Amino acid sequence: MAEEAILGYLENHEEIPDSGQFATDNGLDHNDVINVIKSLHGFRYIEAQDIKRETLVLTEEGRKYAEKGSPEVQLFLAVPEEGSISKEELQKLLDPAVFKIGCSQAAKNKWVQMGNQISRKVQHVEDRVKDLLLRIQDGQEPGKDDNNSLKTRKLTALQTWKGYSVKRGPDYAPTRRRTATDLTREHLLGGDWRNIEFKEYNFSAKGPPPESGHLHPLNKVKERIKNIFRLMNFEEMPTNKYVESSFWNFDALFQPQQHPARDSHDTFFLKAPETTKQLPEDYVELVKRVHESGGYGSRGYGYEWKREEANKNLLRTHTTAISSRMLYALAQQSFTPKKYFSIDRVFRNEAVDRTHLAEFHQIEGLVCDRGLTLGHLIGVLQDFFSRLGMDKLKFKPAYNPYTEPSMEIFSYHEGLEKWVEIGNSGMFRPEMLRPMGFSEDVNVIAWGLSLERWILGSSRKTLYALLELGRLRNASALSSVPSLVFEKQIRLSLCLGK
Ligand code: PHE
């Protein structure tokens, strides 16, 4: 209403000089008019200039006297025309404030004789105060003296009135164009997207606060396992690099260049940067030699080792790539025994489905010391896994290019009532350690397992305990987090009654 009135008026007039007057003339509420002016101004339909006016208004007390008469007149009228009235009697007839003010004003005006008995001194009085107040209410200005005395008696006050004068703005139009917030199918089909004005994005608008938030379940478990390693005095390896060269991921680990894992069907190779720039040349030479012709009691693989293969960059397929870098660095110093661990992301070229992702997290631990045996490895594994709630372990001989002997680790699953494979382990081969520079008596025992697989294989009880899943169940925010296939997997294994 107000909007149409304002825009319509400006179509034929230069200006609305006073929004207050405009509201009165059009029978509109001035507050409504002001709101519309602000909005139209924001969209540059109009230009608005503040106007301020001070008006004299009655205070609450003033309004009372305008209605009922001034206290002095009220008091005068309460005094009998003839004779007198006692102070007490008179007080009973009037409001206390009216009595008090009335006494002093009427005495000042010499209208009454004050004392214990009060009597009239004049026959007739006029209520000038009331008249003044009524005139002010009507919008008239009192004279200077009256004005001052009313102000002193706190019967009037100045009120600032705010309004606007309004002119057409740079984007003026007689009716407001509605801006669209969405481009719809209908807009596209009907072609009216051409003429539609779209609302601009408000990039500083705050989004709705999320209803809940929590740590990602993987991160929770990761932190717990890190703590187990820390309790066992293991140091964390710096795994903050996903891109690795084939050299550190495979060659340094005595993994032959024809190994099927080095095929692009299994590994993501990088297009840019396609190859690594720097490798420690002396060490590369020793690795090449051990692959081609062995040494340290090994016959090697007997093939022609190619530098180009080693240079190819890839997304690391296991965190053992970091272990090989760390062990190489360790071998360059005077020997100190070390216990290292890492938990981080690895990548494999898998077809993604309900139970497979192309990336997962690997937990890896290793101990490097003189004179370590398979017995030490079994002991460390038993210690580590029992801290994860797995006491019953079994080991099965296995094969890894970089470990000998190698063992698959099985744990008895109480829920499934069967042995489940949980990890892989072994003692790093001399073909891997000796070229790095370790002496013959130094051994490395190591193991690796998938964080996700382990969690999914865990019993319901372990899952609840580790993930505090209770808190997860109603966290609807989760569904909006990408790549929560994992989260779904956990739920699924719970449904399956593990
Ligand atoms: N790197 C192995 C894997 O990807 C795990 C492993 C680590 C095995 C260390 C033996 C020693 O499965």
Does residue 403 line the site of ligand 1, with CB under 6 A? yes
CA–centroid distance, 305 to ligand 1, in Å, is: 23
CA–centroid distance, 40 to ligand 1, in Å, is: 69
Place of tokens 């209770």: 470
Handedness of CA 332, 334, 337, 342 (dihedral sign): negative
Residue 401, judged by CB atoms within 10 A of its CB (0-12, 13-18, 19+), counts as middle
Closest CA to 454 of 465, 442, 463: 463
Residue 176 in domain? no
Substitution candidate for ligand 1 out of 253, 255, 319, 320 with most atoms within 8 A of CB: 320
Does residue 400 line the site of ligand 1, with CB under 6 A? yes
Does residue 424 line the site of ligand 1, with CB under 6 A? yes
Residue 220, judged by CB atoms within 10 A of its CB (0-12, 13-18, 19+), counts as middle
Name the percent of the chain lying above pLDDT 90. Answer: 66
CA–centroid distance, 423 to ligand 1, in Å, is: 8
CA–centroid distance, 310 to ligand 1, in Å, is: 20
Residue 85 or residue 211, greater confidence: 85
Question: Can you list the pairs that 111-117 forms with residues at least 24 positions away whose Cβ atoms lie under 8 Å?
Answer: 111/72, 111/76, 112/75, 112/76, 112/79, 113/84, 116/86, 116/87, 117/84, 117/85, 117/86, 117/87
Cβ distance 60 to 155 under 8 Å? Answer: no
Cβ distance 476 to 459 under 8 Å? Answer: no
CA–centroid distance, 320 to ligand 1, in Å, is: 6
Name the percent of the chain lying above pLDDT 70. Answer: 91
Work out how many domains the chain is built from and give that number.
1
| Residue 133: Cβ within 10 Å count | 26
Residue 352 in domain? yes
Helix (H, G, I), strand (E, B) or coil at 139: coil
Is the per-residue pLDDT at 249 higher than 60? yes
112 residue type, one letter: V
| Residue 242: Cβ within 10 Å count | 14
ipTM: 0.96
Is the per-residue pLDDT at 482 higher than 70? no
Each residue's pLDDT tens digit, 440-453: 999 999 999 988 87
Is the per-residue pLDDT at 454 higher than 80? no
Residue 346 in domain? yes
Residue 313 in domain? yes
Q: At what angle do helices 217-231 and 374-387 cross, to 10 degrees?
A: 130
| Atom 10 of ligand 1: nearest residue by CA position | 425
The rounded radius of gyration (Å) of the Cα atoms in the chain is 46
Q: What is the pLDDT of residue 208?
A: 86
Q: What is the pLDDT of residue 476?
A: 36
Each residue's pLDDT tens digit, 394-413: 999 999 999 999 999 999 88
Mean pLDDT across 316-326: 97
Closest ligand 1 atom to 319 CA = 1
Over the chain, what is the mean pLDDT? 89
Q: What is the pLDDT of residue 75?
A: 92
Closest CA to 400 of 192, 255, 190, 186: 255
DSSP letter for 194, please: G
Is the per-residue pLDDT at 357 higher than 90? no
Does residue 446 line the site of ligand 1, with CB under 6 A? yes
Provide the pLDDT confidence category of residue 467 given band limits of 50, 70 and 90.
low
Residue 52 in domain? no
Does residue 426 line the site of ligand 1, with CB under 6 A? yes
Does residue 244 line the site of ligand 1, with CB under 6 A? no
CA terminus-to-terminus distance, the chain: 66
Range(s) of the domain holding residue 464: 220-495
| CATH number of residue 330's parent domain | 3.30.930.10
Cβ distance 298 to 289 under 8 Å? Answer: no
Closest ligand 1 atom to 362 CA = 4
Residue 107 in domain? no
Closest ligand 1 atom to 364 CA = 7
The conformational region for residue 233 under phi > 0 = left, psi -120 to 50 = alpha, else beta, is: left
Cβ distance 43 to 199 under 8 Å? Answer: no
Substitution candidate for ligand 1 out of 318, 372, 450, 453 with most atoms within 8 A of CB: 318
CA–centroid distance, 425 to ligand 1, in Å, is: 6
Each residue's pLDDT tens digit, 328-347: 999 999 999 999 999 999 99
Is the per-residue pLDDT at 66 higher than 80? yes
Residue 465 in domain? yes
Closest ligand 1 atom to 346 CA = 4
Substitution candidate for ligand 1 out of 239, 384, 424, 454 with most atoms within 8 A of CB: 424
| Atom 5 of ligand 1: nearest residue by CA position | 448
* H or E segment to which residue 47 belongs: strand 46-58
Sequence-distant (6+) residues with CB within 8 A of 153 are none
Does residue 448 line the site of ligand 1, with CB under 6 A? yes
Q: What is the pLDDT of residue 448?
A: 95
Closest ligand 1 atom to 424 CA = 8
Sequence-distant (6+) residues with CB within 8 A of 163 are 18, 19, 20, 30, 34, 50, 51, 53
Residue 472 in domain? yes
Does residue 447 line the site of ligand 1, with CB under 6 A? yes
